[in-house]
Every structure is written in structure tokens, then in C-alpha cells.
Structure 1
Amino acid sequence: MSVEIPANGTAQGLRERKKERTRRTIRMEAFRLFREQGYNETTIEQIAAVADVSPSTFFRYFPTKEQLVLADDLDPLLFEALRRQPRDISPMAAFRNAVVEVFGTLPAAELAFEQERQALLYHVPELRSAIGLEIVRSIDLIAGLMAEHVGRSPDDFEVRVAAGAMAGAALAISRMTPMNVENITHTLDFLAAGLPLGPGPEAGRD
């Protein structure tokens, strides 16, 4: 027995896929230009031209060139994975499981793109001013998800502190290490253990 799909539903699905392809093309072409000639030297008009769209179309997808780098396409995947985690495990364990699930199945090309995005964000001076806003956004998102997991308010003092610790830890490692499943889970494990920072190998040497 076949099931008929309404024509309007099919058309809407096609439009959404076309929009996603256009958005992806704009980002991929932009990053290619960033690699070839630098972030500052690349204009929105150049990005639009190589992506075969008008500048006005570019602005429908990204309000600024800066936002093109800031947009994190992995957020929805991580949120979905987190919401599938059992409620009887700790928030940190739930986040760890979600990270392993998403990054463990992420195609190599998408992981490389995310690592390049992070490198741009933290090493291009003109983008650093946006990091503060990005951290606030991350804290709000993490607090909302964490609150949902434990059944508390996103404005709860301890929820906000925990969310801030996670966002701050992500910022700290992003500038020095590749964004991959090993480094992220190491960070979450360290936080979950209570930050057991002991003396290093140089301690005690004359």
C-alpha cells in the first residue's frame, strides 16, 4: 500500500533542501577565498560572485561576513544527541556521550571544516571581538540544555556556573588544540573529575 505525499509538502521539502545547498555553497566558497587571499581581503561581493548568488541573497543567509564564520552547524546535532541521553546520568556524562555520538559519525570533510572555522574564529584578530558574544551565546545554550536534563531552571545559579565552566573550557582548548572528539571528551572528563590539577613534570626540579 503506497502513501501519497501531499504536493505542497514535497515542494516545501525541495525548497528547504535548495536553501540548505545554497547556504552550504556560500560558506564553502567563502572559506576557500579566506584560505586563498585572507579573511580581511575577501569581500561579501567576491563571496557572492563565486557562490553564484547576489549580495542580497548572501545577506538573507548571513547578516554579516563575521556571522558566516560564527554560525555553528554542529549545534543542532549536539542538541538532538543530548536530548536522547538518559535522565539518570549526570549532565557532564550526557554531554560527553552526545559529543562522542556526533563527532564519532562526522564525515572527515565536515570535521576539517569545523576545525578550520575554529581556527579562523580564534586567530583572526578582526573576529576576536565577537568571541565574547559567542561565549555568552554558548552559556545560554548550554544552560538551557543542562536545565532541561536535570529539571531545573536555565537561570538557576548552579546551572549557569556549570554552563559557564563548560563554555570557558571550550574556549581555552580551541586556541591551542584541534577540535576533535578526543580533546573535547578529555576536557569534559577533567571538568567532571573536579579539575584535579596536580604538579607538572617540571615541579620540584632545581
Structure 2
Amino acid sequence: MAADAPTRPSLRERKKAKTRAAIRKAAYRLAAEHGWEAATTDRIAAAAEVSPSTVARYFPVREDILLTDEDDALLEARLRARPAGEDPLESLRAVLLEAVRTAFAEQPEETRLRARLTETTTETGRRLTRVLAARTGRAPDALEVRVFTAAVLGALRETTAYWAEHDRTTDLLPLLDRTLDTLKGGPALP
């Protein structure tokens, strides 16, 4: 077998992938039928025929079922395959647009549901968007203002995760300031 030939996942890895998929499918079905709030961990576990502790082991926070993606490794590989000197935003644009096209082609209902369910977590962004839209003379739901606000809030969430992963030993405020500087200029290429 060639050194760079793909290896088949082990039986254990395949079972874990099946369990994750069953949990995710049960959550989507429950949310579609009864709403996200009714899709409790216990109900998801029962529908997936696993224990609540198994759901928690695979998805420590219930919302992770919606916010994580089984194709993360594929996205990473596709991003690595992009030209090294390409602008980071253009690389991400190419990879993410292809991922969305594929998701709508292969799982249109799940993709729509994920989009709908994530709307419930955006109230802060909507409030800030309305203020920024008014300041810039745009409509209260202008796409560009929504995207900008969501990007800032997403970057701040990622910075908080980074801070937590590094034992919370540094002051968070300078990290948040550094994050906003990164958004202003983008990551520099070497």
C-alpha cells in the first residue's frame, strides 16, 4: 500500500462516527418537529437510543450538535490544498462556499434547520446591528452590517476560547484588543 494512500477508519472510529451521526440526526428531527428548546439532551438521547451521558460525551454543550460539523477535517484538508500565497480571505471564501454548496446539495433540510436554529442565538448581534445600521444610514437588517457584527462577535468568542485554553493566565482585555486589530487588517502573510 502506498505511504500516502488513505487508511480506512478503525471499527471503533466508525462506531463513534455512527453514534455522532445518530445523535445529530435525532436532534435535528426533534428540533424540526418540536422546536430546539424541546430537543433536550434526555429526549435526544432517547431518540438516538443512547444514554444522556453519551450525548454529553460527544457534544459537551447541546448547541455543539448544531455548531460543530462532521466535515471539519475535510474543510481543513481543502484549505491546506489552496495555494500558500493566496489571500487568507480568498482561501476561506473558496473552501466555505464549496462546503455550503455541497451541504445544500446533499443535506438541504438539515442545512436549513441548522440555519434556523442558529438564529435563536443571534439576539445580541441583532441589537448591535440595528445600532450600527442606524449610524451608517443602512436598513436595520442590512446584510453587510449583520455580517460585520457577527464577525466581531464570533472573533470575540474565539478569543475567549483561546484565553480559556491557555489557562486564563493572561489578561483577556489585551487579547480582545488584539483580536479587533486582526479584524481590521486580516492575518498578514509571511
TM-score, normalised relative to structure 1: 0.54
Partner of 2:81: 84
Is the partner of 1:40 in helix, strand or coil? helix
Is the partner of 1:21 in helix, strand or coil? helix
Distance in 2, matches of 1:26 and 1:50, equals 8
State whether structure 2 residue 48 is matched by structure 1 residue 57. no
Residue by residue over 1:113-132, the C-alpha shift from the partner in whole angstroms, topping out at 9 and shown as x without a partner, is 2332122011x26x757988
Native 8 Å contact 2:156 2:179 kept in 1: no
Distance 1:156 1:30, change over 3 A: closer
Distance in 2, matches of 1:121 and 1:99, equals 17
Q: How far off is 1:50 after superposition?
A: 1.0
Superposed structure 1 runs of 4+ greater than 6 Å apart: 129-133
Distance in 2, matches of 1:158 and 1:31, equals 37
Q: How far off is 1:61 after superposition?
A: 0.5
Partner of 1:161: 184
Native 8 Å contact 1:78 1:102 kept in 2: yes
Give the root-mean-square deviation of aligned CA atoms: 3.6
| Highest RCO, 1 vs 2 (Cα 8 Å, sep ≥ 6) | 1
Distance 1:33 1:157, change over 3 A: closer
One-letter amino acid of the structure 1 residue matched with residue 25 of structure 2: M
Distance 1:77 1:28, change over 3 A: same
Q: How far off is 1:137 after superposition?
A: 4.8
Distance in 2, matches of 1:55 and 1:106, equals 28
State whether structure 2 residue 113 is matched by structure 1 residue 116. yes
Unaligned runs of 5+ in 2: 2-6, 126-149, 162-177
Residue by residue over 1:146-200, the C-alpha shift from the partner in whole angstroms, topping out at 9 and shown as x without a partner, is xxxxxxxxx6986443559xxxxxxxxxxxxxxxxxxxxxxxxxxxxxxxxxxxx
Distance 1:94 1:30, change over 3 A: same
Unaligned runs of 5+ in 1: 4-8, 142-154, 165-206
Residue 27 of structure 1: which of 4, 12, 24 is its match? 24
Instruction: Among all aligned residue pairs of Structure 1 and Structure 2, give the percentage whose two residues are the same amino acid.
Output: 33
Partner of 1:96: 93
Partner of 1:136: 156
Distance in 2, matches of 1:102 and 1:120, equals 19
Residue by residue over 1:67-117, the C-alpha shift from the partner in whole angstroms, topping out at 9 and shown as x without a partner, is 222223444333221111112332222222223443444462435423321
Native 8 Å contact 1:26 1:58 kept in 2: yes
Distance 1:89 1:161, change over 3 A: same
Aligned length: 141
One-letter amino acid of the structure 1 residue matched with residue 26 of structure 2: E
Distance in 1, matches of 2:109 and 2:155, equals 22
Partner of 1:40: 37
Distance in 2, matches of 1:18 and 1:107, equals 26
Distance in 2, matches of 1:72 and 1:37, equals 22
